[in-house]
Amino acid sequence: MKFYYISHSGIRINFYEAPYYLNDTDLLSYEWGYETENNRILSITKDASDKSLEIYVMPEFGIKNRNIVMEQATDYLSSILDADVAEKKPGRLYTDTGYYLECLFVKSEKSDWNMGINFMFNSFTLLVLRPVWIREIQYSFLAEAADPITILPGEEEPEPEITMEQGIMFPEFPFDLTVKENKKTKGLFDLPTDLKRVRGTRMINNESYLPCHFRMTIYGPVTDPEIVIANHIYKVETTVFTDERLVIDSRSNTVIKIGRLGEETDLYNSRYKLQSVFEKIPPGQQTVTWPGGYGIDITLYDERSEPRWTL
């Protein structure tokens, strides 16, 4: 299994090629905390913990000035890892299976640096506030174009969409209540079979063995967006205008609208109250339905005590 680190500022450091090689670690070990009473389990938790990571710093053989390269590599590694600590912003330690662990390198101990060879052991202690390995699975569903409408003689043309600049917007509807027949539009009550299929039906797959957290982004324009996943309603009673987006994050229990200029509005109190908008996504393949007139992104967080293995 290969490891690499990406700092909070996006700098990547590989621990599987010169000048940094992973030697030993307990990153793949884990422990649950628990509390019992009278042979009954009261609680099971997984608290912040320290992990160890030992690498050896060794420049490639055959290059000139290996001692200078050694010095530069050691200084560079320290500067990147310390910057994360100073900013109190954890980086991500990844495996080649796509899982990452958020952590800070809070301690470093060095050995074998004064043996007269271009080689050094660097043993780190990592602070892991949330000891779970995470893999993000992303889905993007674009807005579907509305079906064209034929205007029959004597009927009025539909109202045009009014944008945010005009101060109002018409809501999206979850059903298209018309069907076309012989290039004409029939009303809903002309025939019992006039109902069309619901637009906006897709599948997502939670590959975890447990219900997973998610982040859902809804792109305007839309009023009272409603998405149904595994027969559960995720709805926020608000208006999202063109070039705005609404973000529901189950991990942080937040509902935020982000405006055109990046301004944020807390819409926690506008969430649908009858069913929780923070309900985790069940394991396995799940059906996603929504009106289809606006785009949505869904990120699933596959969280595990240890990442999937590869040797």
Pick from 100, 121, 117, 1: which is nearest to 53 by CA? 121
* The pLDDT value given to residue 240: 97
User: Does a cis peptide bond (omega within 30 degrees of 0) precede residue 221?
Assistant: yes
* Cα–Cα distance for residue pair 216/297, rounded to 1 Å: 6
Q: How many CB atoms lie within 10 A of CB 250?
A: 20
Output the CA angle 213-216-220, nearest 5 degrees: 170
* The pLDDT value given to residue 194: 39
- Whether residue 276 is predicted with pLDDT greater than 70 in this model: the reply is yes
| Between 213 and 151, residue with greater pLDDT | 213
Contact yes or no for 294/172 (Cβ under 8 A) = yes
* Cα–Cα distance for residue pair 255/236, rounded to 1 Å: 8
* The pLDDT value given to residue 183: 41
Pick from 134, 135, 140, 179: which is nearest to 288 by CA? 140
Choice among 109-113, 180-184, 287-291 with the minimum mean pLDDT: 180-184
Burial of residue 178, with CB atoms counted within 10 A of its CB: 0-12 exposed, 13-18 middle, 19 or more buried: middle
Model confidence, pTM = 0.79
Pairing status of strand 245-249 against strand 239-240: unpaired
Contact yes or no for 235/226 (Cβ under 8 A) = yes
In a 13 Å sphere around the CA of 115, the CA atoms on its Cβ side amount to 9
Confidence of residue 198 (pLDDT cuts 50, 70, 90): low
* The pLDDT value given to residue 159: 55
Percent of the chain at pLDDT > 70 equals 81
Contact yes or no for 238/226 (Cβ under 8 A) = no
* Cα–Cα distance for residue pair 3/14, rounded to 1 Å: 7
Residues with Cβ within 8 Å of residue 1, at least 6 apart in sequence = 28, 95, 96, 97, 307, 309, 310, 311
Confidence of residue 112 (pLDDT cuts 50, 70, 90): confident
- Which residues does residue 104 pair with via DSSP β-bridges, in sequence order? 127
Phi and psi at 84, nearest 5°, equal -65, -40
Choice among 89-103, 187-201, 218-232 with the minimum mean pLDDT: 187-201
- Per-residue pLDDT reduced to its tens digit, 41-50: 999 998 899 9
Q: Which helix (H) or strand (E) holds 21?
A: strand 20-25
* Cα–Cα distance for residue pair 145/137, rounded to 1 Å: 26
* The pLDDT value given to residue 188: 43
Pick from 237, 242, 217: which is nearest to 225 by CA? 237
The CA-atom distances, in angstroms, between 104 and each of 8, 187, 310 are 10, 62, 24
* The pLDDT value given to residue 239: 97
* Cα–Cα distance for residue pair 83/152, rounded to 1 Å: 67
- Whether residue 192 is predicted with pLDDT greater than 50 in this model: the reply is no
